Chains A and B, each alone.
Chain A
Amino acid sequence: MPEKIKVVAEKCDGCGQCLQACAFFAVDVVEGRAVLAESCVECGACVPACPTGAIEMAGEGAGAKAGGLWVFVPEGTPPAAVTAARAVADEQGTTVSAIVTAEPADPSRFFAAGADEVLVLKGPADPAGLLIEAAKREGPSAVFALGRATALRVLPRVAAALGSAYVALADELMPAYGEKTVDANRPYYAGRFRTRVTPSGKTAVFTLDPVAFSAVGRDTGRRGQVRSLELPEAVRRDPDPVSAEKVAREVPLAQARVVVAGGPGLGSAENFAKLASLAEKLGGVVGASKEAVDLGWAKPSQLVDSSAGHLYPQLYLAFGIDGSTTHNAAIAKARVVVAITDKPDAGLLSVADFVVPQDPAAVLEAMLAGE
């Protein structure tokens, strides 16, 4: 019989939620009460599923399985990686812990996203130091985080400290059913190819592509527990900023819903500058071909090229862009591509949904004047 998990008979109302949560068919309802079978592996998945709190897990780690999945959620980051980890945990029959470094004001959002517990790390160190010490102590099978600035700094450090495999900005996770390994797909050669990687070792560390993993679970019926872990021995890794200010920042191309891009076919810097008005009108941002950047019409940060990363817009409007192999690779995941060019042999035509075979500068003027 399981030793760590027990059912408090007085609290159990026989609702059967635990049956659905158990991946090992190790729970039954007998005479209106949940009963754990011999086959229970004490994964703890039933604990947060119980709406009356009738299933309890003894000892440290109650509510989450030792060797479960951890998701580091820096302040201000949506718990989308928790939802991604939940899908992995369901395949593997394990648990998800949302890892935070400050008492959460509203832990229910982590449970709704898929967490079984919220683990609050406390100590004199910064998030990197706390996470490293906690992972050394509790040994999660994997650590995930959404690939934003803080996580992209902290998680490689964690991987290096643990000597673990690190997968940067995975855009697809492929857990093996019943096993602890997770394969991941990630871009390769600046996105022109994709490679599937298998991490080995004790604790695999993943950052997740924020665009590919943007969905946040909203299962408001999920419950879990909040646990604190004191880590007085944790050592600070990185400096604190002396100041930080909120500055208006251009939406990065990779996160833009609409991208209005221009190339040499627009004829002049003045025409290129007009793209900003159309982008504003459509709620988008301005991108540029390599030639437009080389001509000084646009900043390097506006470059649309697979060497600078992939774009995922709903709409990509290209004015006077020929469409090199790397440009076309960068926009391969755009939902709709419109090519506005008077060059009948432009490479962009082969990847366009719509083609406007007219002078790009004139079409731009007409768009600004019209709708």
Chain B
Amino acid sequence: MKAFVCLSVSFSTWNILWSMGAPDTSEAQRELPALDRSALEMAKKAGADEVVALGWFPAADESVFRQGLAFGANRAVRIAQPIDEAAAVDPLVVAAGLAEAIRKLAGVPDGATAGPPSGEGAPEPLKVLVFCGQASAEFGRGAVGPMLAELLGLPVVTGVRALEAGGGALTVKAWQDDLLATYKLDGPAVITVGPDAPAPGKPNMMLAAKAMRAPIESIDIAPRPASLRARGVTSNEQRRRGKEAVAGSSLAETVQVLFGRLRERRVV
């Protein structure tokens, strides 16, 4: 089965500037988020025939795809249509774009739609596995995975912390509110990686070298209009605090003075 891993971009150095009343990301370095790297590792562990790294971000962020290839993706495909920040705020725009790209890459004819899984009259579900980092669209806060599941007519398991393949099925463990649940998946599905998944390993150096020269494919989609409108951004600057120096004649006394202050504030 083919696996798609939906990539996103994180800003590693966070040198985002607050400029003219809006964030300016032009100087920020881009990086493949740890959760997306875990998603790539899970896709390989699931025994997929081919792992396709799919993303919707500007051509300038091509290095993220190369990181995806270095982590074992067989192909990297970028959605060609530009996505502006206003649209990227809306996870449904992102999910619909990714779903259309996955349908095309999986060979579904134009115009064919996927319905709810196992519903009467629903088309045959896509024979694919789709993996997302939990924040697969950073602004969507993990919404893209379940939305993709609905749009592709697939079941979804979210917040997966462990995955094992064997006996023709995948065994995944995921938090379901306060319970740790075990699921058996024997067919197509969407899997989103949880924050307590094992930390990803280092990229394969051979693959990293190869990724530098690998082509980044592109695919066209028709973006849906945004249904969420951003009406302004404010900076989350820290409030001014007291910076009160705490000192005593000895360390023990310093600690006593500190706990006294904390008791006055009723936090201990």
Measuring CB to CB, which residues of chain A are less than 8 angstroms from any residue of chain B? 74, 76-77, 129, 132, 148-150, 152-157, 159-161, 163-169, 183, 187-201, 235-239, 241-247, 249, 258, 282, 299-301, 306-308, 314-315, 324-326, 328-329, 332, 335-338, 349-358, 362-363, 365-367, 369-371
Closest to A245 in B: B180
Closest to B148 in A: A160
| Contact between A315 and B262, CB atoms less than 8 A apart | yes
Min distance, Cβ B157 to any Cβ of chain A, angstroms: 7
B252 within 8 A of A: yes
| Contact between A157 and B147, CB atoms less than 8 A apart | yes
| Contact between B156 and A153, CB atoms less than 8 A apart | yes
Q: Name B1-58 residues within 8 Å CB distance of A.
A: 10-11, 14, 16, 18, 23, 25, 34
Among B195, B251, B254, B267, contact of A301 (Cβ-Cβ < 8 Å): B195
- Contact (A195, B89) CB under 8 Å given A157-B150, A189-B11: yes
Min distance, Cβ A207 to any Cβ of chain B, angstroms: 8
Kindly supply a per-residue 1/0 record for chain B positions 142-175, scoring 1 wherever the CB is within 8 Å of any chain A CB and 0 otherwise: 1111110111000111110000000000000001
- Contact (A371, B255) CB under 8 Å given A192-B236, A353-B244: yes
Among B118, B238, B242, contact of A235 (Cβ-Cβ < 8 Å): B118
| Contact between A164 and B227, CB atoms less than 8 A apart | yes
- Contact (A351, B241) CB under 8 Å given A156-B143, A245-B180: yes
In the complex, 27 of the A-B residue pairs with CB atoms within 8 angstroms, ordered by the A residue number, are A76-B178, A149-B158, A149-B177, A150-B176, A152-B141, A155-B146, A156-B147, A160-B95, A160-B147, A161-B116, A166-B143, A196-B230, A200-B227, A237-B117, A238-B157, A239-B157, A239-B184, A243-B181, A245-B180, A299-B199, A336-B267, A352-B242, A355-B246, A358-B251, A366-B255, A367-B255, A370-B256
The 3 closest A-B pairs by CB, nearest first: A241-B181, A168-B141, A160-B150
B229 within 8 A of A: yes
B108 within 8 A of A: no
Among A153, A167, A195, A350, contact of B232 (Cβ-Cβ < 8 Å): A195
| Contact between B177 and A148, CB atoms less than 8 A apart | yes
| Contact between A354 and B231, CB atoms less than 8 A apart | no
Closest to A191 in B: B236
Q: Once the chains are docked, how many angstroms separate the CA of A192 from the CA of B235?
A: 7
Q: Once the chains are docked, how many angstroms separate the CA of A58 from the CA of B113?
A: 40
